[in-house]
Amino acid sequence: MGSKDSLKQLVSKEEIANRVEELGKQISKDYEGKDLVLIGILKGAFIFMADLVRHISIPIQMDFVRLSSYGNFMESTGEVRITKDIELNIEGKDVLVVEDIVDTGLTLQYLEDVLNLHKPSSIKICCLIDKKERRQVPVDVDYVGFNIERGFLVGYGIDFEENYRQLPGIFKITPGYEPEGFIPSDK
């Protein structure tokens, strides 16, 4: 976390709380009478999922998966791998994947392919932030918290180099660090 990083709030904690409650009510209505399993993608979706499940009024099961595609870079590497797989049996169940940000779609496309091998009844996606302008592959997002087209975002579970997850809102970050090998002109 660089002391020179610049943060600009885009979504307040109150706006998030209201939208998460709306999503929870809609999911409860849509899945009434169904066998629903929420699968959160770690680490970014953990705060969103924790708040979301508190607003879901129907019985659910929860699990988590951890995927890696970013490393310490601000751009996706395009290479996805599972570092923690699901533990629940999802065969014949309705699955709702909970994600922090959907941008290129590569991570979710990969995860959907892997989850389909477990023969669920359905797979849908719920994300806090949808960045459609960055799609490289088609991905249908069924429940969207906010559409934010541009900027690298942090807060509410979303990080930059493992920092800023604890912020209560969503912020656009402009990193202020100097690139490796940078030699200031005044030296």
Could you tell me the two tokens for 166?
Answer: 């604890």
pLDDT of residue 70: 53
Q: What pLDDT digit, counting tens, does each position of 8-50 carry?
A: 999 999 999 999 999 999 999 999 999 999 999 999 999 999 9
In this predicted structure, the answer to whether residue 172 has a pLDDT above a threshold of 60 is: yes
Confidence at residue 55, expressed as pLDDT on a 0 to 100 scale: 98
Catalytic residue among 94, 103, 130, 159: 103
Q: What is the pLDDT of residue 123?
A: 98
SS3 content of the chain, % helix, strand, coil (to 5): 20, 35, 45
pLDDT in tens, 129-153: 999 888 889 899 999 999 998 889 9
Active site residue 51: no
Report how far residue 72's alpha carbon sits from residue 88's, in angstroms, rounded to the nearest whole number.
30
Domain coordinates of the chain in residue numbers? 6-174
Terminal CA-CA length for the chain: 24
Structural class in CATH, domain 6-174: alpha beta
pLDDT digits (tens, 9 = 90+) for 96-122: 999 999 988 998 999 999 999 999 999
